[in-house]
Amino acid sequence: MPLKNVLVVSYSQTGQLADIVREVVAPLRAAGHDVHVETLVPETPFPWPWPFVDFVDAFPECFQLDPPPIRPLSPACDRSYDLVVVAYQVWYLAPSLPVTAFLQSADARRLLDGKPVVTLVACRNMWLNAQATMRRLVAAAGGRLRDHLAFIDQGPALATFITTPRWVLTGRRDRFLGMPPAGVAPEEIRGASRFGRALAEALDCDAERGDDPMLSGLRAVNVNPRLAISERAGARAFAIWSRLIRACGRRGQWRRRPLLALFVIYLVTMIITVVPLSLLLQTLLAPVLRPRLAALREQLESPSGSQTHNLARYES
Ligand SMILES: Cc1cc2nc3c(=O)[nH]c(=O)nc-3n(C[C@H](O)[C@H](O)[C@H](O)COP(=O)(O)O)c2cc1C
């Protein structure tokens, strides 16, 4: 059987995404495939935990896809790969800045051109807009997006509006006021190995050269269409706010801080009023909305889907 070369490009601050990547990669290596994990390194590191001002000040450039530079890739990236996995976190409904920087680079065009690409996201729970951007960036680099895997924080959607920012701003992710710990559940992280096993089998029979998803039937994603509607509204507002704030100055400049403060007030107001109200309204209107939400869900879950028919085969 021809062994394949797999490149995994990743950037994670806490190591959570790196843990998920490790689970996916282990079965590929066990099957004899050659996997190189390239960890992106920003030229100026991003802080962890984030000071509040830096956290807010990162928003406009995240959303407008204007990243600061990353360090050159390691020499292992000079070769050609059979499959590329891009693992990312979401920052302000967009891919994190280091991943955006990579996908916009000449290196990405060389590595992805004509190649099958699998995207993997681990974030709070709002990744739809970021994934739409990833689709565009992967396509612009010449890559063929074949599968997408999504890992989200374990708490209820509304609780994560508190637990995830608390984690990002203080570094503390433990159980808080009765809410589950921030981040992806440990059993979900361990379960990521099923994707590695399925990918290894797909590579063994050259399935990466085709066009169909390789990871369907494995509950690769699970979209809550009700959150999708809130996220769409958020993305529309972010487009306006990010342009306005950038018109006042560059990242780090004092003169854009008054507008950043207004943005924070807007964001908090939305989270405590509009998001719960919109979820409540959608629950009340569920009988009317159901067919539309089902169609939206199917569209947003492509290509890999939320079906589970292959789980028994690849779960350990
Ligand atoms: C600046 C910033 C913005 C974020 N924005 C979002 C977001 O819009 N949606 C989301 O689901 N998660 C968001 N997160 C959470 C991250 O996607 C991720 O879950 C968290 O930073 C931990 O990632 P890591 O363990 O890979 O370092 C954000 C995190 C940071 C630092």
81: domain CATH number? 3.40.50.360
Closest CA to 315 of 223, 219, 222: 219
Same domain for 176 and 102, yes or no, is yes
Domain count, the chain: 2
Same domain for 20 and 66, yes or no, is yes
Is 105 close to ligand 1, i.e. is its CB under 6 Å away?
no
Q: How confident is the model at residue 1 (pLDDT cuts 50, 70, 90)?
A: low
Q: How many helices (H) and strands (E) does the chain have?
A: 14, 7
Q: How confident is the model at residue 287 (pLDDT cuts 50, 70, 90)?
A: confident
Closest residue by Cα to atom 16, ligand 1, is 123
pLDDT score, position 226: 80
Same domain for 131 and 238, yes or no, is no
Closest residue by Cα to atom 10, ligand 1, is 124
Same domain for 203 and 263, yes or no, is no
Contact in structure between 198 and 118 (CB atoms under 8 Å)? no
Q: The domain containing residue 284 runs over which residues?
A: 226-296
Is 134 close to ligand 1, i.e. is its CB under 6 Å away?
no
Q: Which residues contact 229 (CB under 8 A, 6 or more apart)?
A: 278, 282
Same domain for 203 and 234, yes or no, is no
pLDDT score, position 276: 84
pLDDT score, position 188: 97
3-class secondary structure, 119? strand
Same domain for 204 and 64, yes or no, is yes
Same domain for 171 and 218, yes or no, is yes
Same domain for 119 and 186, yes or no, is yes
Same domain for 241 and 199, yes or no, is no
pLDDT digits (tens, 9 = 90+) for 43-69: 999 999 999 999 999 999 999 999 999
* Nearest-angstrom CA–CA distance, 121 and 96: 10
pLDDT score, position 2: 66
Is 123 close to ligand 1, i.e. is its CB under 6 Å away?
yes
pLDDT digits (tens, 9 = 90+) for 132-179: 999 999 999 999 999 999 999 998 888 898 999 999 999 999 888 888
Over residues 115-141, mean pLDDT: 97
Contact in structure between 67 and 98 (CB atoms under 8 Å)? yes
Same domain for 204 and 250, yes or no, is no
pLDDT digits (tens, 9 = 90+) for 243-265: 999 999 999 999 999 999 999 99
Same domain for 36 and 65, yes or no, is yes
* Nearest-angstrom CA–CA distance, 205 and 2: 9
Q: Which residues contact 208 (CB under 8 A, 6 or more apart)?
A: 4, 82, 83, 116, 146, 202, 214
| Residues 162/94/242/296 CA torsion (nearest 10 deg) | -90
Distance of CA 178 from the midpoint of ligand 1 (Å): 22
Over residues 77-83, mean pLDDT: 97
Is 58 close to ligand 1, i.e. is its CB under 6 Å away?
yes
Q: Which residue has the tokens 């006042």?
A: 248
Same domain for 216 and 242, yes or no, is no
